[in-house]
């Protein structure tokens, strides 16, 4: 699991034959790419890191014991795999650990204005256990470069895979396990620099911090005023998941820090593989694993690490995510500054299917705000095409909900023949795509993938008005359609998501794509037609399922991702175009208490005052943001900038407009200065209520909106900071966890 160049999720999965596949999410369009074969194989988990230019690099070990890597390019494409070779006289025996060097503290290297532009080093450093059971490492010679230093071995022999992290002062710590289960840590005395990338005797002696560990460990960061405190999570032979934290952070005199080993704590049963740990926006940690029943389960700190409780407080119990059993799990935090909390990705138990479950917000430590989870979303079997699983907007079966027949071509010979409905599946010409257009009302075209032509009206002079496919014409309204959700009578507007839809004709919105059950002169049942949407004839069927092929007769998979987005975007455009005839509003059924989006993330750049005796003034610009992020079903990140402008949200507590502000930071000599913020957010849970030309429908969903300062007693966190060390917390726009997911 990684973060792409545009802060979208990047999923990497190793298939059963070792092939590494990837899928990428585009947050701007809220769409997923099809599965792509990376062209490489792996003998273990793929590992990711980000170059200084924010592009992802993937590292793998192959059966030969050689290490290879692949880099993301500026245009989003990927390079060919490059061979990193092996340590001298041995091969790589485990998965590598890769971190990005940060020498900001030891060498700020600011601009002439004193601005530290984030990570001033950024060279990737790799650690791996060799077949000789030594831990070897090497580092990039320059940020973003293809040159690497010579291999160097750390003392000792080890088992399993090492874990490496970078603390807030740029010092790398490495954790490794002895064959008898003893867990040890070493750390750099000083952060490395490009000039002295591998200084002699720069690693502290190994310090033991626990015994009886049975697998690879995960290390998380606790950012406190005193510095960055490390916390380890791992399975032990006592039959459980244990954690132990530092009581003092690492320093130049004591690089490995001081560990509260007498306070090591069991927090639950053992989890498969390396524990998955993620930091919430408020600093609390959450551990994820798979429980005895096969479900993804998690436990969250009720209070983060303190001097008296270095492991944090774990008063709440484990919670299971029902609905899907899993064989493996990975978790990705939403980029800081966004309203989404995190995403859970899992491989279904006994399957090759990838599932995603978004977490819109995390519960409050005092229980005043419950966790908000969306539904599981199906992302198709690993390595499959875009037509698998529930399909995508690029590849759909359009199935008559009442007749269990799919939209098809009447003839494979005549490309302009009438479009039909056919009970037989998997015939040529049965795959369709919904394509967005430049239509001001948001209408889409329905494109046949086989012929690359658009569903069109036959221009019949008299009824029946048949449908054909014709060359796509971006100006032709007869090729455009509105998508309208259809719910059963008495449906719960706040909970039930439509699985069937009407396809209204853009040229004549009172007419819908209709299939006939039987011949009724002069109508032929095999041909689909344009018929009045409000027909009450039992022979007329105008509700359709928009997903992939049926698993068995009468059964269909879930609606393809993106269909509900089209529904709401079309509504927003139509309401904006004719607000007197059309109304769009969000009806809030529940409004939990407000909360802070993050606890002190860094806004803007960091300044270092180079002067030995003069103070500096640093002005930071920031904005109190407005707007809403919406979610539907199993998706989150649906851009609500359009929706919030056209959908009525009569919520007095909302931040109504973006307001820019400037904050002055007074920076003493030889110190760092920055601004930490945390805007106020609030959820609303309910449904969109839409009336378009007299036709009414609803869609359940959630909104997370920027709230006014002081909502629910929560105030915007806005604090200028200065220190002789750089900030320990992340930047508001920086991605967090990057974890691999293995099949």
Q: Is the pLDDT confidence value at 740 over 50?
A: no
Closest to 223 (Cα-Cα) out of 322, 144, 134, 336: 336
pLDDT of residue 736: 27
pLDDT of residue 616: 86
The SS3 call for residue 492 is coil
pLDDT of 516-560, one tens digit each? Answer: 999 998 899 999 999 999 998 999 999 999 998 654 555 556 789
Q: How far is it, in rounded angstroms, from Cα 101 to Cα 84?
A: 19
DSSP letter for each residue of 110-136 = --TT-EE-S-S---EEEEEEBTTS-EE
The alpha carbon of residue 74 and the mean position of all alpha carbons in its chain are separated, in whole angstroms, by: 20
Q: How far is it, in rounded angstroms, from Cα 564 to Cα 500?
A: 11
**Rg for the chain, CA atoms, rounded:** 28
pLDDT of 283-313, one tens digit each? Answer: 889 999 999 999 999 999 999 999 999 999 9
Break the chain into its structural domains and give their ranges: 1-72, 86-216+244-270, 271-385+569-743, 397-560
Burial 666-678 (b: 16+ CB within 10 A, else e): ebbeebbbbbbbb
Q: Report which of residues 494 and 2 the model is more confident about.
A: 494
Average pLDDT, the chain: 87
Specify the pairing of strand 152-154 against strand 115-116.
unpaired
Q: Is the pLDDT confidence value at 102 over 80?
A: no
Q: Average the pLDDT over 93-113 and give the result.
A: 80
CA distances from 156 to 13, 25, 136, 185 (A): 32, 42, 11, 12
Q: Is the pLDDT confidence value at 44 over 80?
A: yes
Confidence of residue 356 (pLDDT cuts 50, 70, 90): very high
Confidence of residue 336 (pLDDT cuts 50, 70, 90): low
DSSP secondary structure code for residue 262 in this structure: G
Q: How far is it, in rounded angstroms, from Cα 644 to Cα 562?
A: 18
Q: What are phi and psi of 563, to 5 degrees?
A: -65, -45
Q: Report which of residues 411 and 691 the model is more confident about.
A: 691
CA distances from 331 to 475, 619, 676, 741 (A): 44, 36, 25, 9
Confidence of residue 72 (pLDDT cuts 50, 70, 90): very high
Q: How far is it, in rounded angstroms, from Cα 94 to Cα 67?
A: 10
Q: Is the pLDDT confidence value at 633 over 80?
A: no
CA distances from 450 to 297, 411, 414 (A): 43, 12, 13
Q: How far is it, in rounded angstroms, from Cα 654 to Cα 628?
A: 9
**Percent of the chain having pLDDT more than 90?**
53
Residue 211 in contact with residue 183, Cβ under 8 Å? yes
Residue in the structure block whose two tokens are 């995603």: 356
Burial 194-208 (b: 16+ CB within 10 A, else e): beebeeeebbbebbe
Residue 136 in contact with residue 96, Cβ under 8 Å? no
Residues in contact with 580: Cβ distance below 8 Å, sequence separation at least 6, in sequence order: none
CA distances from 193 to 109, 138, 255, 677 (A): 12, 13, 17, 31
pLDDT of residue 414: 60
DSSP letter for each residue of 664-712 = EEEE-TT-EEEEEEE-EEEEEEEEEEEEETTEEEEEEEEEEEEBPTTGG
DSSP secondary structure code for residue 641 in this structure: H
Burial bucket for residue 368 (CB in 10 Å: 0-12, 13-18, 19+): exposed
Residue 52 in contact with residue 1, Cβ under 8 Å? no
Tokens standing for residue 96: 């590598």
CA angle 43, 740, 21 (to 5 degrees): 65
Q: How far is it, in rounded angstroms, from Cα 435 to Cα 394?
A: 8
pLDDT of residue 617: 86
Specify the pairing of strand 124-129 against strand 135-139.
antiparallel
CA distances from 573 to 386, 577, 588 (A): 28, 6, 22
Tell me yes or no: is domain 397-560 CATH 2.80.10.50.
Answer: yes
6-20, 41-55, 124-138, 621-635: the lowest-pLDDT one = 621-635
Q: Average the pLDDT over 567-586 and give the result.
A: 91
Q: Average the pLDDT over 608-635 and give the result.
A: 81
pLDDT of 116-144, one tens digit each? Answer: 655 467 889 999 999 999 999 999 988 89
pLDDT of residue 396: 92
Residue 225 in contact with residue 233, Cβ under 8 Å? no
Residue 417 in contact with residue 409, Cβ under 8 Å? yes
Q: Is the pTM of this model over 0.85?
A: yes
């Amino acid at each position: 699991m990684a973060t792409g160049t545009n802060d979208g999720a990047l999923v990497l999965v190793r298939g059963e034959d070792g092939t590494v596949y990837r899928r990428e999410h585009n947050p701007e369009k809220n769409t997923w790419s099809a599965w792509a074969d990376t062209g490489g194989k792996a003998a273990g988990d793929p590992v990711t890191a980000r170059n200084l230019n924010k592009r992802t690099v993937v590292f793998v070990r192959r059966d030969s014991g050689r290490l290879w890597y692949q880099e993301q390019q500026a245009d989003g494409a990927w390079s060919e795999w490059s061979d990193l070779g092996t340590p001298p006289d041995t091969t790589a025996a485990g998965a590598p650990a890769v971190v990005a060097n940060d020498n900001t503290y030891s060498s700020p290297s600011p601009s002439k204005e004193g601005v530290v532009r984030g990570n001033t080093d950024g060279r990737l450093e790799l650690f791996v256990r060799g077949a000789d059971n030594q831990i070897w490492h090497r580092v990039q010679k320059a940020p973003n470069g293809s040159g690497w230093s010579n291999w160097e071995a750390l003392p000792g022999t080890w088992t399993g895979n090492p874990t490496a992290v970078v603390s807030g002062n740029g010092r790398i710590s490495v954790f490794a396990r002895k064959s008898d289960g003893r867990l040890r840590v070493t750390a750099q005395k000083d952060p490395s620099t490009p000039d002295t990338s591998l200084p002699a005797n720069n690693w502290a002696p190994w310090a033991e911090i626990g015994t009886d560990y049975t697998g690879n460990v995960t290390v998380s960061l606790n950012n406190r005023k005193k510095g960055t405190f490390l916390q380890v999570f791992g399975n032990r032979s006592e039959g459980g998941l244990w954690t132990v934290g530092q009581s003092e952070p690492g320093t130049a005199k004591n690089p490995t820090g001081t560990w509260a080993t007498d306070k090591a704590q069991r927090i639950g049963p053992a989890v498969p593989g390396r524990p998955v740990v993620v930091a919430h926006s408020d600093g609390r940690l959450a551990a994820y694993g798979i429980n005895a029943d096969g479900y993804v389960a998690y436990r969250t700190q009720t209070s983060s690490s303190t001097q008296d409780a270095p492991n944090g407080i774990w008063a709440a119990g484990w919670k299971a995510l029902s609905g899907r059993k899993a064989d493996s799990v990975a978790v990705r935090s939403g980029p800081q500054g966004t309203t989404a909390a995190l995403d859970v990705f899992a491989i279904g138990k006994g399957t090759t299917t990838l599932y995603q479950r978004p977490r819109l917000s995390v519960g409050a430590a005092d229980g005043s705000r419950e966790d908000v989870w969306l539904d599981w979303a199906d992302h198709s079997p690993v390595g499959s095409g875009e037509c698998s699983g529930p399909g995508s907007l690029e590849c759909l079966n359009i199935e008559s909900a009442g007749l269990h027949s799919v939209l098809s071509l009447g003839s494979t010979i005549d490309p302009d023949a009438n479009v039909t409905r056919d009970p037989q599946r998997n015939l040529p010409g049965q795959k369709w795509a919904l394509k967005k257009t430049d239509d001001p009302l948001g209408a889409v075209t329905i494109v046949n993938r086989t012929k690359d032509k658009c569903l069109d009206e036959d221009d019949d002079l008299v009824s029946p008005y048949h449908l054909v496919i014709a060359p796509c014409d971006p100006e032709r309204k007869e090729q455009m359609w509105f998508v309208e959700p259809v719910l059963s009578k008495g449906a719960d507007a706040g909970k039930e998501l439509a699985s069937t839809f009407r396809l209204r004709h853009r040229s004549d919105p009172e007419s819908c794509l209709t299939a006939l059950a039987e011949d009724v002169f002069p109508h032929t049942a095999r041909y689909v037609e344009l018929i009045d949407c409000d027909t009450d004839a039992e022979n007329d069927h105008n509700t359709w399922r928009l997903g992939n092929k049926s698993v068995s007769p009468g059964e269909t998979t879930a609606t393809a991702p993106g269909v509900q987005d089209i529904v709401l975007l079309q509504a927003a455009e139509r309401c904006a175009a004719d607000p007197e005839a059309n109304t769009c509003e969000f009806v809030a059924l529940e409004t939990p208490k407000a909360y802070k989006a993050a606890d002190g993330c860094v806004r803007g750049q960091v300044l270092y005052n180079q002067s030995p005796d003069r103070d500096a003034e640093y002005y930071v610009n920031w904005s109190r943001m407005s707007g809403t992020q919406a979610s539907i079903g199993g998706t989150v990140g649906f851009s609500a900038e359009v929706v919030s402008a056209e959908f009525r949200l009569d919520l007095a507590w909302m931040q109504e407009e973006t307001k820019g502000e400037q904050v002055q930071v007074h920076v003493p000599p030889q110190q760092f200065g920055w601004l930490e913020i945390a805007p106020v957010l609030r959820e609303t849970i309910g449904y969109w209520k839409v009336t378009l030309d007299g036709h009414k429908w609803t869609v359940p969903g959630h909104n997370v909106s920027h709230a006014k300062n002081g909502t629910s007693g929560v105030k915007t966190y806005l604090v200028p900071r200065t220190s002789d060390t750089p900030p320990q917390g992340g930047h508001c726009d920086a991605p967090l966890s990057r974890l691999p997911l293995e099949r």
